[in-house]
A and B are shown apart, each in its own frame.
Chain A
Amino acid sequence: MHDGLRSAQQAAGSLFKVEGAGSGMRDEQDLSRDSAWTTAPSVLKPGRYFMQGDEACAEGAIAAGCSYYAGYPITPASEIMERVCQRFAQLPSRVFMQMEDEIASIGSVIGASWAGARAMTATSGPGVSLMLENIGYAIITETPCVVVDVQRAGPGTGQATRPAQGDVMQARWGAHGDYEIIAISPWSVQEAYEETIRAFNLADRFRVPVMLLTEEGVGHLRESLVVPDTTPIYRRIKDQGRPPFGDADVPPMPAFGEGARLLVTGSTHDAWGYRKTVSPQAQSRLVERLASKILNHRAEIERTHAHYCDDERLDVLVVSYGFSARSALRAVKMARGSGIKAGLLCLTTLWPFPEQTVLRLTSKASHIVVAEMNRGQMLREVQRLAPHAVGCNRTDGEVLSATDVWRSVQKEAPA
């Protein structure tokens, strides 16, 4: 596992490495070209740490300049809240609130974002369910924020301390109405740190709530974290001359108190924020722009990493994400050892679904296995491109093991 992790970390790239179609981070030399990008010195002293996934997520938020955190206790996400609470007390100008419930948490996060803060909350499935109305509000008002979902076995109260990946479709479709969302799933402690930073940058770049889906597996395991010297930061564009809710793909976003006389509303609205609750043109213009601002920039958003996929043809391609992808990597190596041409595609970005990359790799594989800790949620997305894909599923509150994935691989492509 150690070798696999090291190579995975190299494949996942440093914060600055651009990887073809999907890294979401800018080359160092690109940073000066676009004035919205800047760098900040890392808050943690640069170096190597041994840290828990939830803690790395909190540190990533701090590195990204998160200055407002509101949350409510819920297993298994409370560690993120507690770490933020302790760390914020050590740092200047950061606000921590434990609010009365999850709805107040996400509401105050959105409010703080409009006051100019980088704001975040972390919860689990039941909390996301409570927050969805306001996540929809953040979508239609184009409010940047980060929502971490440390998934657990559901539905309902389920098994609070047991891992699962059952909230994948909830992240995509949970809020009512038509919309696109950005959702990211880290597979290691290093990614928990880096992808939280990237989540904040994507949120500000596209003015959208970004969901970070982890689960109890990645959240509670401990492994190496390398903190670099600096953190890339995308600064919000303010520009009061232009309308804050229209014209541009991603309009500028001044903060309250800057004289912009902002009209922020969750009702359908025009480019300046006036409610337009009966106009068909206003409705279609807004809904389409909100979707296309994400879909037209997939290259900037999508991130995946492929392992052992270089052959012209593969016997079995395993598609996975989060903790399951760690087990899948080991299974792929076991398969290779048995002479099966197996490869792993790890999805770091879940939404928008990395169609092009999945299509490219599935079309060169005879068999496809989608390994996940649910009853086949990402499987449905893969099957839309490759109908013969099958699932390797685990829904008993235990982590998907390498043996589970190896059995599925063997079943699909006997050596």
Chain B
Amino acid sequence: MWKACKHMPSKIVLNADWCKGCHICVAVCPRQVLEVDEGSYLRGFHPVTVARPEDCTACQQCEFLCPDLAIALVEEDA
């Protein structure tokens, strides 16, 4: 889990089992928070990695456009 922007109380949670590596989330993020991990190919695709969690504004584009419910912005516990 990665902690997002310090002003936004949420963190980005990736579900590696549900992700299919379509990379829509990487392409739609307006802040380039997410990246394709070219170095890994375990399940037949390059997985997604959270490169710049501090830039995340919790816009929810990634989680709304993910076809697999594999990326979620989770409220930080107080």
Judge A-B direct contact (beta carbons within 8 Å). Answer: no
Interface residues of B (CB under 8 A from A): none
Interface residues of A (CB under 8 A from B): none
